[in-house]
Structure 1
Amino acid sequence: MPRLLRPLTRTVTYTRWLHLLCAAVLAFVCGAIYPGLSSPSLQDWALIYVVPLPLLVLAGMLPGARRAEGLQARLMLFSGGHARVASGGAESGVSVAPSASWQDRGRTAVWLVLRLLLGLSVALLTGQLMAVVLELVGVAAGQPVGTVSPLPLPGQGWWCALLIPVVLLTLLYVVEGSGRLMARAALLLLGPSAAERLAALEERTEQLLERNRIARELHDSIGHALTVAVVQAGAARAAGDPAFTDRALGAIEETGRAALEDLERVLVVLREAEQPVSARPTLRDADRLLDSARASGTKVDVAVSGPLETVPGPVSREGYRILQEALTNVLRHCGTVPVRVALTVTDGQLSLDVRNDLPTKAATGTGGTGSGLRGMRERAALLGGRARTGPVADEWQVHVDLPMA
């Protein structure tokens, strides 16, 4: 029994009822003009149903009608915070965008017609059954049978009061079923069109790509800073040399400051703040990466061929992050082994090659999640390039080719 009564205790049941009753207003207004509401016959009631339909079809052709009906449907046919989501947290699935095509206009017109027909029927049934309730109250109190409702009464006597809950429950269940029908119709007729679903999918894809980009930025920047700090601190403690300790602390400070700048840049983007975002580092700023690696005790040889200043900004920024991750992996997995870096700009292409010796006990590619190497390949792929990582003879190689056009 509680399960049967549960729909009658939900607020959305009564907002749906109100939504249906509001739809009948136009029919009664038109009916008051023609054919009139004074003792209407069955033929007159048929006209009351039919006369408003051309007006509704014309209204459905207006682009804003779909938006207005979508907002009403979200507000009154679905439950949830601010009526934006359905029960359970799922999207209500009702669009609030204006009609963008004739198909949207046609669906809106069908929705308006359906809402009027069902709403008028529920309004008439509500009026008749409420009239029956009033008559049952009267006859139960000993008053003569009235003629408020054309529906027949079973008799006269106090026992008629027992029929009042039956009539009310019948009305409420009809309203609850009609409300469910309108909610399903709203999903079908006012739901997003194919173009809107495609646009939403593209927006979702853009959001996921942006999240992945931010994750790569944090992984490369913060991971590099922490790796350098750990290596520098360990080397300073092992060396026991005050001069080396000073250099190590300086490198940790510089690397940490750069990581804080990267973190602040990402937070500004996430907060959508109006303050200007600081420029992301490019290959022109690669010296600080190389200096921090050298300060850790790593010997880094660099060979630059071609003008780095001609490399476009997006390519140069991604190249910087790839170089940063490559040096971080060397320090993390191989320690202070010699590293050879080659930057080549030629024929509209930037080539980045990082090689380091593999100690016999080096856990190449292990001890981590592999997200760094995956991030390199993703960065290269987004620019139309390619990245190769892996052992070559007794060396570990990271080779990336990025087109500049």
Structure 2
Amino acid sequence: MPRFLKPLTRAVTYTRWLHLLMGSAVSLMIAFIYPGLSDPAIAEWVLIAVQPIPLVAAAALLPSMRRAEGLQARLMLFPGQHARVPGDDEGRGVSVAPSASWRDRGRTAVWLVLRLEAGAVAAFCTVQLLGTMLALLGSASETTEDPGVLLPLPAPNWTNALLAPLPVLALLALAVVAGRLMASAARRLLGPSPKERLAALEERTEQLLERNRIARELHDSIGHALTVAVVQAGAARAAADPEFTDRALGAIEETGRAALEDLERVLRVLREDGKTASRRPTLADAGQLLDSARASGAKVDTEMTGPLEQVPGAVSREAYRMLQEALTNVLRHSGPVPVLVRLAVDDAALEIDVRNALPTGGEATGRGGSGLRGIRERATLLGGRATTGPREGEWQVHVELPLG
């Protein structure tokens, strides 16, 4: 199909033309009152187009008018799902928010006046071109006394019927061009203000941060559960002791149940079904975490100083995840080795220190993993710092978090 005919096959071409014609409704209603539509002169056509301007400009002062015009523009000027603007990832080329400033009201007023005048011109051209087509068809067989059109017509002749399609083609071309111009004007005059763009950017940033946090939560929780399950299953098979196997299965069951609770909580957040998400674990639940590591064969010694229950909720929750990832890293890369866990709280900071012996050969394992990187990222977001790596023949994870 030729390129210039493709717009004629798209529904949006005709919805844009209908949107233009709707803009002339106010002019026509006022024209019925004055000066009337019975054979108006050129000066009266101008009056019909101009006299509604104060009315539509005053309507633009209503904040909801911008929302109404934005919704109409999205639905009728732009194609696609939810009337998204092509090339605009967020579909916000035209705003549907009420006017929030005088600048928004001014842009809406300009848009309404433009739509009013463009609609009047579109209605005039539609009437004239369709009337010209009918006059050409009529003059092909008989003389037309008063065709009621302003365009000059050739002398009556049967050949006039061959010219009848020309006004229709001109009208279609006008519809395509005018529709594109109005769509471009809508993006400029009804587009989001800088404040709305900033709010949308902040919302997008919050969504990305939330997704990143959920990804870390799943990595820490599910990764820990799978690591404990693998270590426990391997130890039970190697021990070949029914009593030890029972304890290992119990530890796998408990760890798996906790991981399922975490998974359900995260899924509720993603679904946004309005249900209250389950409580996220804090340092108050660190005992279960340490018992899980001990059940995997690791010898875990703990030193806890200071009032852990007074650690703020956000810090306590993130600290639990850091401790969980540190113990998971030990079990995954070093196996059931002696581990020293130290938690210290004072008036200003929380300190977490996890040390374990390096594997045979003294190679530092786990370097550069996403889990350790997650620990450092969590600490940075809370205004603290975390260091990981070998030190004095041991692997150390050291975290300092401010309580303020």
- TM norm structure 2: 0.95
**Do 1:376 and 1:387's aligned partners in 2 also have CA atoms closer than 8 Å?**
yes
Match of 1:12 in 2: 12
1:384 maps to what in 2? 383
Letter in 1 for 2:380: A
Contact 1:334 1:362 in 2 (8 A): no
* Range moving further from structure 2, 31-40 or 381-390: 31-40
Q: Distance in 1 between matches of 2:290 and 2:358?
A: 19
For 2:161 and 2:252, the matched residues in 1 are separated by 86
Distance in 1 (CA, whole Å) between partners of 2:308 and 2:364 is 33
State the distance in 1 between where 2:330 and 2:158 align: 93
Give the whole-Å Cα distance in 1 for the aligned partners of 2:16 and 2:262.
Answer: 51
Letter in 2 for 1:399: H
Change (3 A) 1:89 1:197: closer
User: Counterparts in 2 of 1:164-175, with a 5 A limit?
Assistant: 164-175=164-175
Task: State the partner residue of 1:66.
Answer: 66
Give runs of aligned pairs for residues 145-184 of structure 1, distance below 5 A: 145=144, 146-184=146-184
> Does residue 326 of structure 1 match 2:301?
no
CA distance in structure 1 between the partners assigned to 2:210 and 2:340 by the alignment: 32
Report the Cα distance in structure 2 between the residues aligned to 1:32 and 1:26, rounded to whole angstroms: 10
Report the secondary structure of 1:31's partner residue.
helix
Aligned to 1:130: 130
The 5-angstrom pairing of residues 358-369 of structure 1 reads: 358-359=358-359, 360=361, 362=363, 364-365=365-366
Check the 8 A contact 1:358/1:396 in 2, yes or no: yes
> Would you say the 8 A contact 1:343–1:353 is kept in 2?
yes
**How many angstroms does 1:153 deviate by?**
1.8
State the partner residue of 2:398.
399
How far the C-alpha of 1:154 sits from its partner, in A, is 2.8
Alpha-carbon offset, residue 156 of structure 1: 3.0
Question: Does structure 2 retain, via aligned residues, the 8 Å contact 1:137–1:161?
Answer: yes
Counterpart contact for 1:78–1:92, Cα < 8 Å: no
Change over 3 Å in CA distance of 1:351–1:361 after alignment to 2: closer
Aligned length: 401
Bigger drift between 334-343 and 255-264 goes to: 334-343
Instruction: Decide whether the 8 Å contact of 1:108 with 1:190 is kept in 2.
Output: yes
- Give deviations 1:147-191, integer Å, cap 9, x for gaps: 221211233333322222222111111111111111111111001
1:101 CA displacement: 0.2
Partners of 2:364 and 2:389 within 8 A in 1: no
Query: Shift of the alpha carbon at 1:67?
Result: 0.6
Displacement after TM superposition at 1:119 (Å) = 1.1
For 1:135, give the aligned amino acid: A
Deviation, structure 1 residue 380: 1.5
* Partner Cα distance (2:147, 2:279) in 1: 82
Deviations 1:28-80 (A, max 9, x none): 22223333333322222222221111111111111111011011101111112
Q: Residue type of the partner of 2:97?
A: A
Q: C-alpha distance in 1, partners of 2:363/2:155? A: 97
CA contact (8 A) 2:299 2:338 kept: yes
Counterpart CA distance in 2 for 1:206 and 1:71 is 26
Partner in structure 1 of residue 197 of structure 2: 197
Give the aligned partner of residue 266 of structure 2.
266
Greater shift after overlay, 100-109 or 312-321? 312-321
Which residue identity lines up with residue 400 of structure 2 in the other structure?
Answer: D
Gaps of 5+ in 2: none
**Structure 1: runs of 5+ lacking an equivalent:** none
Describe how 1:6-405 pairs up with structure 2 within 5 A.
Answer: 6-83=6-83, 85-87=84-86, 90=89, 91-140=91-140, 142-145=141-144, 146-359=146-359, 360=361, 362=363, 364-365=365-366, 370-405=369-404
Q: Give 1:348 shift.
A: 2.1
Secondary structure of 1:158's match?
Answer: coil
Q: Note if contact 1:284-1:308 (Cα within 8 Å) is conserved in structure 2.
A: yes
Contact between 1:15 and 1:77, CA under 8 Å: does it hold in 2?
Answer: yes
Is the Cα–Cα contact under 8 Å of residues 333 and 363 in structure 1 kept in the other structure? no
Q: How far off is 1:316 after superposition?
A: 1.0
Contact 1:225 1:255 survives alignment (8 Å): yes
Tell me the TM-score normalized by structure 1.
Answer: 0.95
